[in-house]
A and B are shown apart, each in its own frame.
Chain A
């Protein structure tokens, strides 16, 4: 079963669909033309580039090249997590990299080598999209975990200091905020698993079905990816927060002001 191609004229027709929301937004007086234009343009260019990259990656299918691509994804994710969490990359870049790299490599390797078992474990068709999907979700979780942890800690500075005064070690004093941050980071994934298939058909499954896979096979891959996302998000958030504790505090257990990126 082949997926039907969308030829160029019909791609133009597709872009034409955007005219409808554009007109409606103008009618209600929302001037978003610039933002919408830039977003659609960026999406198109970025995806075109990814298309060229992936085509090349799949054709060559070289283990080092695939590894390099994953490394680039990890680095971009690393910087993006820190920027969105409001922490200075200068201090945390290594800690976050170690956390996401170890968790992504572990769960992707587990899935590809032990579960899927392709002829070559480095097969770009498997590792690139799977690692990318796991990483994308892991990124969201880590942004929430770091942002939540450091903002709650700053908001509850007095409570934290009270815990220290009552004899808590740094770890004992931050533990309530630590648990809260991990919970907030995992909630979307846990809730997502619970409603999977009921509310909407998950993206990867839809893609596979459109690509011609049997629904049963698509279901199994969807389950696989969800379990890996859950596992790697949990591992990455905990390691990331734990490592950040050694960086974000001074030797007197006080949160260092300079590590936080003030808006």
Chain B
């Protein structure tokens, strides 16, 4: 089986500061990995580099064994859901936020039905009437679950999760864990939460932009 993500000696410089240096790792389909390390160690930068948001100084990033280029980045972005601490919903109401990507040309013909919307909300333990609420009135944890719901509706296979557990209560956290037990979903996350670290099969330790240790929990 070929890896879904491969970093090959990747270095990234932003504003003349080296933020990633000589990073190499691979991630296979269905694996759940977490990047761990102090703040500023380059965890989020790895996620952003994969999405083509930072320019690579040296080395190559591969996605499904295709090198990251201006053309292939479209494919990466369309397969990937990025969810941050306080995700941007980008629309007035929750319903509009969930349907936002379906305004774009690539997804225009895959608009979900009402039943699919309700179904995905239920899967994430969110009430159906949240659809009517304003996006800026819901909590951080709810926002993250809506962003996750949006990824699921788009059929995304790769989830880049940046500190999502920090805003979640115990119940929501469990819901999110349950979603990612799906062996078809690959996760590359950033977290400090011990429970999350324990659940992830692979732990990448980062220090000052370098990958210092790779630990396998062996439960993927």
Interface residues in chain A, defined as those with a beta carbon under 8 Å from any beta carbon in chain B: 158-159, 161-169, 172, 250-254, 257
Contact = CB atoms under 8 A, between A and B. Distances in A.
A169 B104 contact: yes
Interface string B37-55: 0000000000000011101
Contacts of B88: 158-159, 162
12 contacts: A162-B90, A163-B100, A165-B77, A165-B80, A165-B81, A167-B77, A167-B107, A168-B104, A172-B104, A252-B70, A253-B73, A254-B55
B21 interface: no
A169 B70 CA distance: 12
Interface in B56-101: 70, 73, 77-78, 80-82, 84, 87-88, 90, 100-101
B52 A167 contact: no
A162 B87 contact: yes
Contacts of B78: 167
Contacts, number: 55
A155 to B, nearest CB: 12
Nearest to B150: A166
Given A251-B70, A252-B70, A254-B52, A166 B87 contact: no
Interface string B126-161: 000000000000000000000000100010000000
Given A159-B90, A172-B105, A167 B154 contact: yes
Contact of A165 (B70, B82, B103, B105): B82
Given A159-B88, A254-B52, A164 B70 contact: no
A252 B104 contact: no
A96 B80 CA distance: 36
A2 B8 CA distance: 82
Given A165-B82, A257-B15, A252 B87 contact: no
B73 A252 contact: yes
A165 B51 contact: yes
B73 A158 contact: no
Contacts of A250: 55
Contacts of A257: 15
Given A164-B77, A165-B81, 20 more contacts: A158-B84, A158-B88, A161-B82, A162-B90, A163-B90, A163-B100, A166-B90, A166-B100, A167-B77, A167-B104, A167-B106, A169-B104, A169-B105, A172-B103, A172-B105, A252-B55, A252-B70, A254-B53, A254-B55, A257-B15
Contacts of B51: 161, 164-165
A166 B70 contact: no
A169 B55 CA distance: 19
Interface residues of B, number: 25
Nearest to B160: A165
A161 B154 contact: no
Residue picked from B52, B78, B80, B84, most chain A C-beta under 10 Å: B52
Nearest to A176: B90
Nearest to A164: B77
Contact of B52 (A158, A172, A252): A252
Contacts of B73: 252-253
Nearest to B101: A166
A44 B53 CA distance: 51
Closest 3 CB pairs of A and B: A251-B70, A166-B101, A252-B52
B186 to A, nearest CB: 16
A23 B90 CA distance: 54
A214 B84 CA distance: 66
Contacts of A169: 104-105
- Which of B73, B78, B90, B106 has the most A CB atoms < 10 Å from its CB? B90
Contacts of A161: 51, 53, 82
Contacts of A163: 90, 100, 104
Contact of B154 (A158, A159, A166): A166
A65 to B, nearest CB: 47
Contacts of A251: 70
Pick the most buried of A161, A169, A250: most chain B CB atoms within 10 A of its CB.
A161
Contacts of A252: 52-53, 55, 70, 73
Contacts of B100: 163, 166
Contact of A167 (B84, B87, B101): B101
A119 B55 CA distance: 59
Contacts of A164: 51, 77
B210 to A, nearest CB: 24
A168 B105 CA distance: 7
